[in-house]
């Protein structure tokens, strides 16, 4: 199973405060615990409940494509999308609407038991410190064979394929291309050194 926790307030506040943000909240599957009450409190406080769509199974690309169609008019005006879901949902939305920055509203943590069953070609490792806001909505942990957090290794071949498996795209080349498309490649330079906190996958939700 997995559990999502609201990201640190200051991390998402500036994004939620921007006028043209659109919000998806995935109440999703029974495998995921979403802190829905906390999310609604925050959105009410920031007066953005009316810019939020409550949906389920964002992890299914077909569903996400339908939601994006349903909200196409408002999404056209949105300069950012915040997604409250597990890491898979965020990545599927980012994949389906690659020209708009997609920001995770939650960190996804691991707890014992089986995980969401509807993941398709993107994955979430439940690392507990979602990086998707820095990487154009493509997870560096699951899309890079070395789970590198600070850019690519030198191993990708000329076609941008991974040194480990020529059928696999280099995750960091994908991230670079997505950030270029978003006009956000500055993120690659701007942010300080990213390092994983492995105690998050051991403690999970047992921390409190």
Partner 1 sequence: MNFEEKLKSGKFVITSEIGPPKGTNIMPHIEEAEHIKDKVDAFNVTDLQSSVMRLGSLATSHLLIEKGLEPVFQMTCRDRNRLALQSDLLSAAVLGIRNVLILTGDHTVLGDHPDAKPVFDLDSISLLKVVSDLMKGKDMAGNELDGVPYFFPGAVVSPGYEPQELQIIKMEKKIEAGAKFFQTQAVYDLVAFEKFMEKASKFGVPVLGGIVLLKSAGMAKFMNENVAGVNVPERYIKMMAEADKKDRPKVSIQIAAELIKGMKNLCSGIHIMPLGWEKYVPDVLDASGF
Among 49, 173, 200, 201, binds partner 1 (CB under 8 A): 173
Q: Is 193 in the site for partner 1 (CB under 8 A)?
A: yes
* Residues facing 44 on adjacent strands: none
- Print the binding letters for residues 74-103 with partner 1: x by CB under 8 A, - otherwise: ------------------------------
Among 27, 29, 196, 205, binds partner 1 (CB under 8 A): 196
Among 18, 155, 199, 202, binds partner 1 (CB under 8 A): 155
Q: How far apart are CA 13 and CA 10, in angstroms?
A: 5
Helix (H, G, I), strand (E, B) or coil at 21: strand
Per CB under 8 A, which region of 8-16, 33-41, 43-51, 171-179 contacts partner 1?
A: 171-179
CB of 72 to partner 1, least distance (A): 32
Give whichever of 82 and 149 is closer to partner 1, judged by the CB atom.
149
Among 19, 112, 121, 154, binds partner 1 (CB under 8 A): 154
Among 176, 178, 182, 204, binds partner 1 (CB under 8 A): 176
CB of 81 to partner 1, least distance (A): 25
Q: Is 164 in the site for partner 1 (CB under 8 A)?
A: yes
Task: Say if residue 198 is exposed, middle or buried (CB neighbours under 10 Å; 0-12, 13-18, 19+).
Answer: exposed
Task: Say if residue 136 is exposed, middle or buried (CB neighbours under 10 Å; 0-12, 13-18, 19+).
Answer: buried
Task: Say if residue 8 is exposed, middle or buried (CB neighbours under 10 Å; 0-12, 13-18, 19+).
Answer: exposed
Q: How far apart are CA 202 and CA 200, in angstroms?
A: 5
Among 128, 152, 171, 204, binds partner 1 (CB under 8 A): 152
Question: Which residue carries 């997870």 as its tokens?
Answer: 139
Q: How far apart are CA 12 and CA 175, in angstroms?
A: 21
């Amino acid at each position: 199973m997995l559990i999502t926790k609201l990201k640190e307030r200051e991390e998402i506040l500036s994004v939620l405060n921007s006028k043209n943000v659109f919000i998806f909240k995935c109440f999703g599957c029974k495998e995921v615990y979403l802190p829905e009450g906390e999310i609604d409190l925050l959105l009410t406080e920031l007066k953005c409940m009316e810019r939020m769509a409550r949906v389920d199974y964002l992890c299914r690309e077909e569903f996400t494509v339908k939601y994006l169609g349903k909200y196409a008019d408002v999404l056209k005006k949105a300069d950012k999308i915040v997604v409250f879901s597990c890491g898979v949902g965020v990545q599927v939305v980012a994949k389906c609407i690659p020209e708009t920055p997609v920001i995770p509203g939650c960190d996804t943590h691991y707890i014992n038991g089986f995980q969401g069953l509807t993941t398709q070609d993107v994955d979430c490792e439940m690392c507990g410190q979602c990086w998707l806001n820095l990487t154009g909505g493509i997870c560096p942990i699951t899309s890079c064979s070395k789970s590198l957090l600070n850019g690519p290794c030198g191993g990708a071949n000329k076609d941008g394929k991974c040194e480990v498996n020529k059928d696999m795209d280099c995750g960091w080349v994908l991230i670079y291309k997505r950030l270029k498309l978003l006009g956000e490649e500055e993120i690659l330079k701007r942010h300080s050194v990213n390092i994983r906190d492995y105690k998050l996958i051991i403690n999970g939700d047992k921390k409190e």
